[in-house]
Chains A and B, each alone.
Chain A
Amino acid sequence: MEFLGHLALGFATALSPMNLLLAFIGCLVGTLIGVLPGVGPIATIAMLMPLTLKVDPTGALIMLAGIYYGAQYGGSTTAILLNIPGEVTAVVTAIDGHEMAKKGQAGTALGIAALGSFVAGTVATLVIAAIGAPLTKLALLFGPAEYFGLMVFGLGLAIVLARGSVLKAVIMVVLGLLLATVGTDLETGQDRLTLGIAELSDGVDFAVLAMGVFGIAEILRNLEHPESRDVAVSKIGRLLPSLGDLRRSLGPIVRGTGIGSVLGILPGNGAVLGPFASYALEKKLAKDPSRFGKGAIEGVAGPESANNAGAQTSFIPLLTLGIPPNAVMALMVGAMTIHGLIPGPQVMLKHPTLFWGMIASMWIGNLFLLIINLPLIGLWVRLLKVPYRLMFTTILLFCAIGIYSINNNPYDVYFTAFFGLAGYVFIKLGLEPAPMLLGFVLGRLMEEKLRQALALSEGSFMTFVERPVAAGLLVLAAAVMVIALLPAVSRSRAKAFQE
Chain B
Amino acid sequence: MKHILASLGLSLFSGIAAAQAYPTRPVTLIVPFAAGGPTDIIARITGEYYSKTLGQQFVVENVAGAGGTTGITRGAQAKPDGYTIMMGHMGTHGAAPALYANLKYDPIKDFQPIGLVAGTPILIVARKDFPAANLKEFVAKLKDPAAKVKQAHAGVGSVSFTTCTLLTSQLGVKNIVAAYRGTGPALNDLIGGQVDYMCDQIVNLVEQVKGGSIKAYAIAIPERSPALPDVPTTKEAGLPEYQVSAWNALFAPKGVPKDVAAKLSDTLVKALDDEATRKRLLELGSVIPGKAGRSPQALQKLVESEVARWTPILKAAQQ
- Using CB atoms and an 8 Å cutoff, list the residues of chain A in contact with chain B: 42, 45-46, 49-50, 53, 139-144, 184-189, 198-199, 201-202, 267-268, 317, 321-325, 327, 330-335, 337-338, 340, 342-347, 407-409, 444, 448, 451-452, 455-456, 458
Contacts and interface: CB of A to CB of B under 8 A. Distances in A.
- Interface magnitude class on chain B: 35 or more
Contacts of A345: 207-208, 211-213
B65 interface: yes
24 contacts: A45-B35, A53-B48, A139-B192, A140-B191, A140-B192, A141-B192, A143-B189, A144-B189, A184-B66, A187-B156, A188-B318, A321-B191, A322-B207, A327-B34, A330-B36, A330-B182, A337-B36, A338-B45, A340-B280, A345-B213, A346-B207, A407-B63, A448-B179, A455-B179
Interface of B: 34-37, 40-41, 44-45, 48, 60-66, 70, 73, 99, 102, 104, 148, 150, 155-157, 176-182, 184-185, 187-189, 191-195, 203, 206-208, 210-213, 279-280, 283-284, 318
A133 to B, nearest CB: 12
Contacts of A448: 179-181
Nearest to B59: A50
A260 to B, nearest CB: 20
Given A202-B65, A346-B211, A334 B41 contact: yes
B53 to A, nearest CB: 16
Contacts of A144: 178, 189, 194
Contacts of B64: 202, 407
Contacts of A267: 184-185, 188
B206 A331 contact: no
A324 B204 CA distance: 11
A333 B36 contact: yes
* Main SS at interface, chain B: mixed
Contacts of B62: 46, 407-408
Contacts of B157: 189
A347 B102 CA distance: 43
B224 to A, nearest CB: 18
Given A198-B70, A334-B37, A456-B194, A409 B63 contact: yes
Given A198-B70, A331-B36, A334-B36, A186 B207 contact: no
A169 to B, nearest CB: 27
A455 B150 CA distance: 9
A267 B185 CA distance: 7
Contact of B48 (A50, A346, A408): A50
A186 B181 contact: yes
A201 B66 contact: yes
**Nearest 7 CB-CB pairings of A with B:** A344-B207, A334-B36, A345-B211, A189-B156, A140-B192, A143-B194, A46-B35
Given A321-B213, A407-B63, A330 B37 contact: yes
Nearest to B73: A198
Interface centre among B157, B178, B180, B212 (most CB of A within 10 A): B178
A143 B48 CA distance: 40
Contact of A344 (B156, B176, B179, B210): B210
